[in-house]
Amino acid sequence: MSTSAAPFSVSIPPLTTRARTVVRSLASLARDPGRLDQVLVLLQAMNLGAVARAGTRLARSPEGQALLAEQPRIDRASIDWEALERLPDGTLGREYLRFLRSNDITPEAFEKLPDVGDPRAAYVMLRMRQTHDLWHVLTGYAPDVRGEILLQAFTYAQTGAPGSAMIAVFGSLRWALRYPGQLAALRRAFRGGKATAFLPTFRWEDHWATQVGELRVALRCPALA
């Protein structure tokens, strides 16, 4: 059995430890929904099992095996940002760069591999973090509170990650009065995630020059926002 195909084995802290982490993160997010650091803490505490399952699914496909073997990264050390800027409007690379700049986001926030006991699982988690903003570009969801909640519903449909489900459900319940139609949008996001091709195996780096509209058709993911 190849290394990439071997079962994933992550270090999962005791339930009581994870529960305390989740409660603290939820309390922080209740005070400030924009705390990205607490979102990451919450997702890591809740999603380790889902990461292992997603990694095992990656390892079953040629595309996923290539990702695990090569471990490409999406950051300034790996991507030619000036080349992305020269691409035509509407292409994945140009719209991704515009998304980052318009929202004052930098991919350097995700540089270190998380310590989860299995380097392949750590890479899967890093890959999900580094491609998160590309999922925004594909779906059309803005990086505001509402958009993040809906993207988590989409993500849960894709990966089955319980942390994403918690953010999507409890976030929607809290903000339902502020955002009319939120629950209907939540259902649409989940159904969109189910209909879309499995994005964790997608090689975004090979499609910078592809129009976002073409990618939505190829990946069966219409604009959801």
Give the confidence band of 109 by pLDDT, cuts at 50, 70, 90: low
Q: How many angstroms separate the CA atoms of 192 and 159, rounded?
A: 13
Any idea where the domains of the chain sit in the sequence?
Answer: 15-218
Please give the single-letter amino acid code of residue 81.
W
By mean pLDDT, which of 13-27, 71-85, 112-126, 133-147 is the weakest?
13-27
Tell me what pLDDT residue 134 has.
97
pLDDT of residue 137: 97
Q: Is the pTM of this model over 0.75?
A: yes
pLDDT cut 70: percent of the chain above it:
82
Confidence class of residue 112 from pLDDT cuts 50, 70 and 90? low
pLDDT reported for residue 1: 41
Q: In Å, how far are 62, 68, 160, 169, 173 from 5, measured between CA atoms?
A: 11, 10, 20, 34, 40
**8 Å CB contact between 201 and 64:** yes
Q: Is the CB of residue 145 less than 8 Å from the CB of residue 33?
A: yes
The pLDDT tens digits for 16-67 are: 766 777 778 777 777 777 676 676 677 766 676 777 777 788 888 899 899 9
Name the DSSP letter for residue 211. B
Cα 87 to Cα 93, 101, 134, 201, distances in angstroms = 7, 15, 16, 24
pLDDT 10s digits, 136-161: 999 999 998 899 999 999 999 999 98
196 vs 53, higher pLDDT: 196
Among 13-17, 162-166, 187-191, name the most confident range. Answer: 187-191
Give me the chain's average pLDDT, please: 84
Report whether pLDDT(82) > 70. yes
The residue written with tokens 């803005």 in the block is 142
Looking at residue 100, its pLDDT comes to 94
d(CA 1, CA 114) in angstroms, rounded, equals 25
